[in-house]
Chain A
Amino acid sequence: NAGVTQTPKFQVLKTGQSMTLQCAQDMNHNSMYWYRQDPGMGLRLIYYSASEGTTDKGEVPNGYNVSRLNKREFSLRLESAAPSQTSVYFCASSEAGASYNEQFFGPGTRLTVL
């Protein structure tokens, strides 16, 4: 039981390049989330998916797109990377239903945009 997995662990991009961050969970959770973590700002929600087939914007969606490929997988795409997107990205998942359900986090992807 791997929980939430993310690939890659590290990535360096040049400004303007594109890439997709992959996330998968094996807990049969309905809800999945993408966060970015920046020093002193905690984690901020980029996008989330309450259930398969639905996605919604979070606090900082600009410059990102997401795809809920199936119940297990939720990917985050940077179409044209910018230095301001240098960050650590976390994927999380939770059961649907109650707002206070625990979110389980992946190990993160450290992205540097030059």
Chain B
Amino acid sequence: AQSVTQPDIHITVSEGASLELRCNYSYGATPYLFWYVQSPGQGLQLLLKYFSGDTLVQGIKGFEAEFKRSQSSFNLRKPSVHWSDAAEYFCAVIKAAGNKLTFGGGTRVLVKP
């Protein structure tokens, strides 16, 4: 069975500092990979996705993610965080042959002034 692991439950970062959120998946083939953000009290919004091609993917809100096949990872990064980036972030995968998202447990990001 495929699974998605986000090792960090909480991360606290200072405003203006860089941010990296980790995501590892266990699946034989390369799945489709996604990062979603959930602001407090809101639904989920897609930040970016990867399914083929360039392994560095640019998304909305200044985020990027890098797919590393050898490490089965798809880590999310932002060079300089803003207070509005405080939210919960979810990594998710879809098997190549299906359409069902499997989510990681999420990482909650707190931004200090």
**Min distance, Cβ B108 to any Cβ of chain A, angstroms:** 10
Task: Determine if B49 and A103 form an interchain contact, defined as CB atoms under 8 angstroms apart.
Answer: no
Tally of contact residues, A, Cβ under 8 A: 25
**Min distance, Cβ B15 to any Cβ of chain A, angstroms:** 26
Chain B: CB-nearest residue to A107 = B43
Chain A window 32-50, contacts with chain B (Cβ cutoff 8 Å), 1 for yes, 0 for no:
0100000011111100101
B: interface residue count bin: 20 to 34
Q: How far is the CA of A58 from the CA of B42 in the complex (A)?
A: 23
Cβ–Cβ < 8 Å partners of A50 in chain B: 99
Task: Determine if B103 and A90 form an interchain contact, defined as CB atoms under 8 angstroms apart.
Answer: no
Binds B, one of A11-19, A63-71, A94-102: A94-102
Known: A40-B9, A42-B104. A107 touches B42 (CB 8 A): yes
Interface residues of B, Cβ cutoff 8 Å to A: 4, 6, 9, 32, 36, 41-46, 49, 51, 90, 92, 94-106
Interface residues of A, Cβ cutoff 8 Å to B: 4, 31, 33, 40-45, 48, 50, 58-59, 90, 92, 94, 99-103, 105-108
Contacts A43-B90, A106-B43 known; list 7 others, CB within 8 Å: A40-B105, A42-B90, A45-B101, A50-B99, A100-B94, A105-B45, A107-B43
